[in-house]
């Protein structure tokens, strides 16, 4: 592309130079010729006053030699003899100076009465008719050498040629620079596309160059960002789906623990442990540091009370096997939230799974739901040892690596799944100390996509205190594993 542009510019500039230089050279040559013959006419006119006064040979000879062309032998005077007829008979002509024009040409000019230029050996002869005092016509001949006719033409042609070459070289240089300015962004764009195709996802193109290439670079960078985002979403989905396997794995682990002793029981427990290890490996491999954009969740919705009752029914059976006391409150009425059913179920399973994984058997836990008008608050509490550093637990990739009970091996995605569900509605996630003595995870789910205001956050804390007071009241009246309210 670059050399094609240079060739086109070279051809166009050469045609322009030729179209202007050749006619200009011809005009210069014509001007040089006109200047030479104008000078000859002026020189011929210097002898006309003498001819109008006298036709004496000696006087005319002195007059001719006193002029510059006469001194160089370039001026001649042809005077007809007294009484000479118009056809040239009847007298002897008077010729002063060096004759170069033929008698025929001289007579033609004398008869016509007009100046004439005739070609002679070594140049040209200007024949200028001049009237004598006797009424007859004399002819003044001025010799113009060839060199004077073309004087300065060669220099002018050389200058024109130099200017033409300079224009061509300059246009080629400018075309080359323009070609580089156009080609380099295109080459960078092509190289970036190849790098992106080879898997280097951080490749971006500088948005510079002509307008069209800048637009292409902007589109390419936007496309690359979309590819990276799609891949990140895919990895997040793989990690989330893998994390959801932790719920049935927890059930398998608990059931395997109750099988007692024996080769089959040991093999089952080893298989479950290996499966948990593989799931953890998948989660760690697929996990991406950047959170996934929760697009489209706000339009999906579900009944939070129904989903919580369903999941608590599942986990209550396991709680009964481990002797855990369970309390459920605030799910007696329909509570619509802008969260997909599967996402809310995954968030609850993540939190309840953490309770079973990181608290000792027999530890009580509770789930409370409160509707505050513009938000729904879900509180998941336990009576375990709690979390030493709630702030670090909320950081993706560090939460749960060492559980409250000291267990190791969590991927840290559980709380992140819950946080992204809350933040997709404009809410948030907080960890604190529960009234049961262990950990309390509060999920604030916005109903209108607005983040809670500072005042509303205080209202949420007051709601939490009221729910805690109700729990303490229920704890005095309700006992036994699996009890629900």
User: What's residue 343's pLDDT?
Assistant: 83
Whether 308 and 328 have beta carbons less than 8 Å apart is answered as: yes
Buried b (16+ CB within 10 A) or exposed e, 153-169: beebbeebeeebeebbe
Q: Does 6 have pLDDT greater than 80?
A: no
pTM: 0.41
What average pLDDT does the structure give for the chain? 76
Nearest to 386 by CA among 354, 416, 338: 354
User: What's residue 42's pLDDT?
Assistant: 84
Backbone angles phi, psi at 155, to 5 degrees: -65, -40
The token duo for 209 is: 């160059």
CA–CA dist 180, 213 (Å, integer): 13
CA–CA dist 21, 19 (Å, integer): 6
Nearest to 387 by CA among 355, 409, 414: 355
Least confident of 43-47, 190-194, 365-369: 43-47
Least confident of 53-57, 125-129, 424-428: 53-57
The token duo for 84 is: 């000479």
DSSP 182-200: HHHHHHHHHHHHHHHHTT-
The H helix count followed by the E strand count for the chain is 15, 12
Looking at per-residue pLDDT, the higher value among 322 and 271 belongs to 322
Across 165-188, average pLDDT: 77
Burial tier of 235 (Cβ tally within 10 Å: 0-12, 13-18, 19+):
middle
Q: Does 460 have pLDDT greater than 70?
A: no
User: What's residue 477's pLDDT?
Assistant: 35
User: What's residue 288's pLDDT?
Assistant: 45
Backbone angles phi, psi at 100, to 5 degrees: -125, -30
Task: Residue 177: count other Cβ atoms within 10 Å of its Cβ.
Answer: 10
User: What's residue 440's pLDDT?
Assistant: 93
Across 170-187, average pLDDT: 76
273-331 pLDDT, tens digit per residue, is 777 766 666 666 665 444 433 333 334 588 999 999 998 988 888 888 889 999 999 99
| 66 to 59, 61, 77, 203, 465: CA distances (angstroms) | 11, 9, 13, 90, 132
CA–CA dist 399, 413 (Å, integer): 8
Across 403-413, average pLDDT: 47
Least confident of 158-162, 192-196, 259-263, 352-356: 259-263
164 — pLDDT class (breaks 50, 70, 90): confident
439-446/365-371 β-pairing? unpaired
With both helix axes pointing from N to C terminus, report the angle between 414-423 and 341-358 in degrees, rounded to the nearest 10: 150
Residue 261 is given by DSSP the state S
């Amino acid at each position: 592309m670059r050399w094609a542009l240079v060739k086109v510019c070279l051809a166009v500039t050469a045609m322009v130079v030729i179209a202007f230089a050749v006619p200009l050279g011809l005009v210069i040559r014509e001007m040089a010729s006109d200047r030479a013959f104008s000078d000859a006419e002026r020189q011929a006119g210097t002898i006309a006053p003498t001819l109008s006064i006298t036709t004496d040979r000696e006087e005319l000879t002195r007059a001719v030699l006193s002029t510059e062309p006469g001194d160089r032998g370039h001026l001649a005077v042809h005077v007809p003899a007294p009484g000479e007829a118009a056809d040239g008979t009847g007298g002897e002509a008077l010729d002063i100076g060096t004759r170069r024009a033929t008698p025929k040409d001289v007579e033609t000019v004398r008869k016509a009465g007009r100046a004439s230029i005739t070609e002679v050996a070594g140049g040209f002869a200007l024949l200028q008719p001049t009237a004598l005092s006797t009424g007859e016509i004399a002819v003044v001949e001025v010799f113009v050498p060839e060199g004077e006719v073309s004087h300065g033409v060669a220099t002018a042609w050389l200058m024109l040629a130099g200017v033409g070459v300079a224009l061509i070289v300059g246009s080629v240089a400018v075309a080359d620079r323009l070609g580089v300015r156009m080609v380099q962004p295109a080459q960078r764009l092509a190289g970036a596309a190849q790098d992106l195709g080879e898997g280097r996802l951080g490749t971006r193109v500088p948005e510079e160059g002509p307008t069209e290439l800048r637009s292409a670079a902007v589109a390419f960078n936007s496309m690359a960002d979309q590819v990276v985002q799609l891949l990140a979403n895919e990895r997040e989905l793989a990690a989330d789906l893998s994390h959801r396997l932790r719920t049935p794995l927890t059930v398998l682990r608990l059931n395997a623990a109750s099988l007692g002793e024996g080769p089959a029981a040991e093999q089952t427990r080893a298989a479950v442990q290996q499966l948990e290890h593989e799931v953890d490996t998948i989660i760690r491999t697929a996990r991406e540091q950047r959170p996934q954009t929760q697009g489209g969740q706000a339009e999906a919705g579900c009944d939070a009370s129904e989903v919580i009752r369903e999941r608590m029914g599942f986990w209550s059976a396991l709680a009964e096997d481990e002797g855990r006391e369970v309390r459920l409150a605030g799910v007696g009425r329909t509570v619509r939230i802008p969260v997909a059913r599967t996402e809310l179920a995954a968030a609850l399973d993540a939190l309840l799974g953490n309770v079973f994984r990181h608290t000792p058997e027999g530890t009580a836990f509770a789930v409370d739901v409160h509707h505050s008008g513009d938000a729904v608050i879900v509180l998941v509490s336990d009576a375990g040892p709690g979390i030493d550093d709630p702030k670090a637990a909320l950081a993706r990739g560090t939460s749960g690596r060492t559980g409250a009970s000291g267990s190791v091996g969590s991927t840290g995605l559980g709380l992140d799944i819950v946080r992204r569900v809350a933040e997709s509605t404009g809410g948030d996630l907080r960890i604190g100390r529960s009234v049961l003595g262990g950990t309390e995870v509060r999920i604030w789910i916005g109903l209108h996509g607005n983040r809670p205001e500072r005042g509303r956050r205080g209202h949420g804390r007051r709601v939490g205190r009221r729910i805690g007071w109700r729990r303490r009241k229920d704890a005095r009246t309700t006992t036994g594993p699996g009890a629900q309210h």
